[in-house]
Amino acid sequence: MSSPAQSARHEDPELRFAFGRNWRSFLATLDERRIEEARRRLCESLGKNHLHGIRALDIGSGSGLSSLVMHQLGADVVSFDYDSDSVACTKELRRRYAPDAENWQIMRGSALDPAFLAKLGQFDLVYSWGVLHHTGAMWPAIELAQSRVAQHGTLLLALYNDQGWRSRAWRGIKRFYCSGAPGRWLVGALFYPVFSMYALWQDARRFHPPGTYARQYAQKRGMSLFHDWRDWLGGYPFEVAKSGDVAHRLAANEFTLSRQTLTRGLGCNEFVFVRQHPDLAA
């Protein structure tokens, strides 16, 4: 039986989107309003208004925004990412907003490295939003994330929704985007105007001034619309999952689905699971 890291070798390591560079650009747009919105969304997802007394693991910290709000909510946070630029982004947010934090560790590591993960210990909250489907070995990565959740702990995952042929088509587009400069240029030249027209149409049909959709998107998600577009076009490796498959697989490993937010389209389904004691899960 192959290890999770070996399972990922079918993906060309050179064909990987530079997530960290995108996040580095995003940090220039980050302000208190977006931080507050990210904090509100996390509290809403977890059904909590604070994380005091919680040890939290952020798998694939990206920009560092989620790690920051977990820290602000009172958690002891361990953040890691495979992308060195993402690690730098997370450290930059700590420098800006929590320079004296002793309960926020940041490191580089792989979600597919069992030895690395085992050294981190177990956590009351394991968080991985929109990350594990980019590892090239999504299901092994999910299993390893589960192993870091303490008994009665929480696992929050967001994974791309399986849309059948649409998802397969997007996988090809993303692979082409990451194949080199011509791919990036051609895909961007085709889709950025389409996305922009969609945003303008959303404003027009609601009789809103141009740019309203983008501002409301940022307010709702705490994220930049353009940076999310770029992340979507280039996000490769790319895997998807049906919501029922996710719930079924985790239920077999003593995890109970607490809440979920599902999409009908190509975005992410969000799941919150609680790890039950084996005797209670029987």
pLDDT in tens, 137-176: 999 999 999 999 999 999 999 999 999 999 999 999 999 9
Q: What is the pLDDT of residue 278?
A: 61
Chain segment 58-85, per-residue pLDDT in tens:
999 999 999 999 999 999 999 999 999 9
Q: Given phi > 0 = left and psi -120 to 50 = alpha, else beta, which region is 62?
A: left
Q: How many angstroms separate the CA atoms of 205 and 179, rounded? A: 37
Task: Give the CA dihedral 71, 18, 141, 130, nearest 10 degrees.
Answer: 60
Sequence letter at residue 81: D
Between CA 124 and CA 126 the distance in angstroms is 7
Domains of the chain, with CATH numbers? 4-162+239-281 (3.40.50.150), 165-234 (no CATH)
pTM over 0.75? The answer is yes
